[in-house]
Amino acid sequence: MKIKRIYIAFFLITAFFSCAEQDIDKTQEAVLSDQEIYFEVSHVNNAWGVGQKGFLIDKAGAVRTYSNPAVWNVAKDYEKGALTPNQIKENITKTVVSDVTVDAAQFKTLTGKIPALSTSAYTKRIQIGADMGQTNFYAYRYDAKAEGYVPVLLSETGDWQSQNTDKSAVEISEWLKGIQSKIK
């Protein structure tokens, strides 16, 4: 009789945590599905004049490129700063949908990893060049309390190099580098 009670208790606890986990995932998916953008790769090089280009990946998985926009909204403090929904929409208006496509299943999987990305573990930032410019890879989290998009630095290459050591950040960075290589 005691064994049956233990099994029943174990089953009920397992069922409870399974339901709770599903509710959390649904909440995160709801927040994620409301985002206008999820990822950005930005290259800036001011060595021989001002130059800025890159791409965003929006909620539909479209790769949207930009090149030397007159004004581009950037979060001032990547640790605490955020871009407002209006600033994101302004940035989107300065992009062009490219012919590069992303795999829908992989896109969904990677966007699902954004909420859990670490923002505290990075490799040491080292200088490896000069006049190369800087390419930064970001994932965006929508913070409902701040009503803004908070960029999470995944990695940076160019004059300075650093990598977010979170396993998912490394995976997303590599995926974004693959997309970057397809953009002409």
Residues with Cβ within 8 Å of 169's Cβ and at least 6 positions away in sequence, in order, are 117, 118, 139, 152, 154, 155, 163
Our separate counts of H helices and E strands in the chain read: 4, 8
Contact 156, 48 (CB under 8 A): no
pLDDT single digits (tens) 85-103: 999 999 999 999 999 999 9
- In one letter, which amino acid is 7? Y
Q: Is the pTM of this model over 0.85?
A: no
pLDDT single digits (tens) 105-143: 999 999 999 999 998 899 999 999 888 899 999 999 998
